[in-house]
């Protein structure tokens, strides 16, 4: 099997980009946008990993650096969690993103990585 560094790097950005695009490059908490407000955007776990949250599209939301870093691993209230998770599910459906799509911590989408690996092996 050949290793294709550029293929791997492109795939690593795909998952992160899907979530950012789904959320219109806007912080879900305060509404700041990357282009208009110059906000640095992160992916945030609605249910933190420390509380059992998974790295999947239905648990990730766009957050500006300020909101994400001030939140840390604090849990949202049950009402807030339900509201954000419902909104994420609605956006995933509109965007054609599977709720179970796995996004790794480094931003890669697992399904796409498997495709890239297969392409590298074939090429």
pTM of the model: 0.70
CATH classification code of 5-113: 1.10.30
Q: Give, for 96, the enclosing helix (H) or strand (E).
A: none
> What pLDDT score does 118 carry?
34
For 75-110, how does the pLDDT look when each residue is reduced to its tens digit (9 = 90+)? Answer: 889 999 999 999 999 999 999 988 887 776 544 444
> What pLDDT score does 98 carry?
86
Cα–Cα distance measured from residue 33 to residue 45, given in angstroms and rounded to the nearest whole number: 18
Q: Give residue limits of the domains in the chain.
A: 5-113
Mean pLDDT across the chain: 77
């Amino acid at each position: 099997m050949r290793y294709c560094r550029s293929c791997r790097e492109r795939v690593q950005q795909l998952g992160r980009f899907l979530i950012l695009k789904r959320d219109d490059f806007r912080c879900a908490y305060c509404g700041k946008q990357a282009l208009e407000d110059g906000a640095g955007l992160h992916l945030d776990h609605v249910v933190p990993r420390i509380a059992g949250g998974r790295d999947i599209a239905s648990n990730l939301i766009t957050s500006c650096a300020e909101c994400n870093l001030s939140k840390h691993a604090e849990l949202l209230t049950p009402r807030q969690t339900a509201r954000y998770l419902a909104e994420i599910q609605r956006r995933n459906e509109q965007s054609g993103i599977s709720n179970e799509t796995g996004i790794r911590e480094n931003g890669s989408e697992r399904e796409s990585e498997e495709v890239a690996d297969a392409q590298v092996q074939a090429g």
